[in-house]
Structure 1
Amino acid sequence: MKRLHSLLAGALLLSAISLTATAQPPSASASTPETDYYLSTSFHEPADEGLRLLYSTDGIRWDSIPGTWLAPKLGAGILRDPSIRRGPDGTFHLVWTIAWKGDTGIGYASSKDLIHWSEQRRIPVMDHVADTYSVWAPELFYDEVKGQFLIVYTAVVNDGTCTGRRNEHGDYHRLYYVTTRDFTEFSSPRLLYDAGYSCIDGFIVKRGDGDYVLVAKDNRKANSNLRVAFARNAEGPYTNPLSRPFTGIFAEGPSVSRVGDTYYIYYDLYRRHIYGASTTRDFIHFTDVTDQVSFPQGHKHGTTFRAPASIVEGLLRAAQQHGD
């Protein structure tokens, strides 16, 4: 409990301090801009407890917001690979993996404060695509140009459109996506990226010069590393093949935050049971900064995003009140 008091006091103090970057939340007055925090979704294995959240003031040192914030009720009763993006109206949208295999949908819920959530709904992203074996790791991206969300996810579809090797285990993964403006109506699923081999965990970044970067995992067993591709539009086409790897083996679940002029790419080093990071300014040259960042033990497959300080302070207060 002493730790919670110190976390809360620190959050209230730091909310008055100007951080590396600030943003105007939709509900704030133009004369009183509110400081943003870095937040990250998380879960702990075996992924049956629910959504966890981390926060940071600098994108480098991360701490847990105690407790779980949404218990899984869909599919196989798991909540893996949670991804959150905030819409133009201030609503936080959450999607997640609901089953390892045998389910062709993903989970969805929304919130204004990350504490109180809407009813969970299953989005049937691949229900009408024959021979779909699994759907994993949905990632949200808001396309400001078209005013719509992209939900990018990994799927195994054992059909004749595969350009790479398949086997009886169905391990040829590709990246698909659907679009939506309201999380009620969705486009038909479309293929975002076929690497020619098993490729998972796609994450889209919009750069300042107007192009887009796709960070993804080369899922071939001998590689299991992260690479990038580029496009002029969020929906592609992205350059093929993927770049040379910028991580070692056994890295997955990438997400990206911009800290000043530098992009931090965070990822799960799952064989080492730690979280790692690399920095870049151009997505061509990368520096491994794993020894410079810190994440709570047990953090898995998080997606980073930004939120006003008042949201984080509210979460810390709620955690203290519930004694988590």
Structure 2
Amino acid sequence: MNRIVKYITLLLAIALMLSCRAGKSVYLFTSFHEPAKEGLRFLYSYDAYHWNAIDHIFIKPETGDAKIMRDPSIAQGPDGVYHLVWTTGWKNDKGIGYASSKDLIHWSAQQHIEVMGSEPTAVNAWAPELFYDDEAGDFIIVWASTVPFRFPKGQEDENNNHRLYYTRTKDFKSFSPSKLFLDPGFSVIDAEIVKRAKNDYVLVMKDNTRPNRNILVAFSNNPLGPYNNYTPRFTEAYSEGPSMIKTGDNWLIYYDSYRLKRYGAMRTTDFKTFTDLTDSVSVPVGHKHGTIFKVTKKQLGQLLKAAGQTEGAKHE
């Protein structure tokens, strides 16, 4: 009888362990490879420090004249649907790409949203980032565009003098008029909003001026700003595409150190002091920047199955 009780107890313990493991959160990192014509990729990690590649294209770019997909940003709505936006062209493109999915595997028809259509001289629409505003109940899309001769500039070319713009949407069918989001007094791209608490927002961005081209932070009590208290630039020159994730009490800021051809990482608790973790993280070769978010282990298993890949296999 004792053997039976022990056996049943063991089975229950194993079932509980498997159930907990199945529900464990996993980190996903949206990705693309140069020259950006293939489409959406994912990295995954159990600890947010060590990343594996899923060797599969989950959606191929079909919209925009250049048919590319750069800077893929994903955010999930309260209904569980994932929304994806991306850069569709380097220049002479006033729109961004959009698609949605319930499982990150099967995607809706792609749309080209002309976010800068009201600006006749706009050069581009780069690196759109999605932020779900849980207080307003809608999505904010922030991107960088150049409108020549509108703002003072430094050494950069007039067609590379960016400011940040935004629109809001609840359903990705109707959008508020595009407006200026941030003019910090210098060319800025690659901005991502982080909510730490109610009335406490952080904007991590790239100073795109010459000779800086590195990353800094500003703060606000509203996701739309105004942002102030700008930090010093805390990454090396020629770094871009910051992506944030919280793990425990720490925030990790990943960034693409493109001249050094590697991925860098900083750790912070307050977005004011930063510890360089570049030598402590591992990111597959070829990964280019996107956004980081959490899924369940079951969802990861479905992604790996769709890719025909075994869990833990590395493709670098």
Give TM-score, length-normalised by structure 2.
Answer: 0.89
Change in Cα spacing, 1:306 to 1:65, as seen in structure 2 (3 Å) is: same
String of CA shifts for 1:210-258, please: whole Å, max 9, x gaps: 3100000111121111000000000111116x32011111110001000
Alignment partner, residue 179 of structure 2: 190
* Paired residues of 1:131 and 1:159 also in contact (CA < 8 A): no
Of 91, 105, 108, the match for 1:115: 105
Question: In the TM superposition, what are the counterparts of 1:51-66 in structure 2 within 5 Å?
Answer: 51-66=40-55
Give TM-score, length-normalised by structure 1.
Answer: 0.87
* Paired residues of 2:149 and 2:158 also in contact (CA < 8 A): no
String of CA shifts for 1:239-284, please: whole Å, max 9, x gaps: 16x3201111111000100001100001001011111110000001
- Measured in 1, the distance between the counterparts of 2:269 and 2:138 equals 26
- Measured in 1, the distance between the counterparts of 2:114 and 2:287 equals 28
Change in Cα spacing, 1:312 to 1:244, as seen in structure 2 (3 Å) is: same
Gaps in structure 1 of 5+ consecutive residues: 1-12, 19-32
Of 139, 155, 172, the match for 2:161: 172
Alignment partner, residue 147 of structure 2: 157
Larger Rg: 2
Residue 207 of structure 1: SS of its match in structure 2?
A: strand
- Measured in 2, the distance between the counterparts of 1:110 and 1:209 equals 28
- Structure 2 residue 72 is the aligned partner of structure 1 residue 82: yes
Q: What amino acid does structure 2 have at the position aligned with 1:236? A: G
Q: How many residues align?
A: 295
Alignment partner, residue 131 of structure 2: 141
- Structure 2 residue 20 is the aligned partner of structure 1 residue 42: no
Alignment partner, residue 304 of structure 2: 316
String of CA shifts for 1:68-116, please: whole Å, max 9, x gaps: 1111111111000000011111111000000000010000000011110
Return the offset for 1:321: 7.5
* Paired residues of 2:27 and 2:45 also in contact (CA < 8 A): yes
Gaps in structure 2 of 5+ consecutive residues: 1-15
Change in Cα spacing, 1:321 to 1:60, as seen in structure 2 (3 Å) is: closer
- Structure 2 residue 261 is the aligned partner of structure 1 residue 285: no
Of 275, 297, 312, the match for 2:285: 297
* Paired residues of 1:166 and 1:172 also in contact (CA < 8 A): no
Alignment partner, residue 12 of structure 2: none
String of CA shifts for 1:170-195, please: whole Å, max 9, x gaps: 11111111111111111111111112
Residue 135 of structure 2: SS of its match in structure 1?
A: coil
- Structure 2 residue 252 is the aligned partner of structure 1 residue 264: yes
Alignment partner, residue 239 of structure 2: 251
Percent of pairs with identical residues: 51
Runs of 4+ in 1 over 3 A off after TM superposition: 13-18, 163-169
Question: In the TM superposition, what are the counterparts of 1:162-241 in structure 2 within 5 Å?
Answer: 162-165=151-154, 169-208=158-197, 210-239=199-228
Change in Cα spacing, 1:15 to 1:67, as seen in structure 2 (3 Å) is: farther
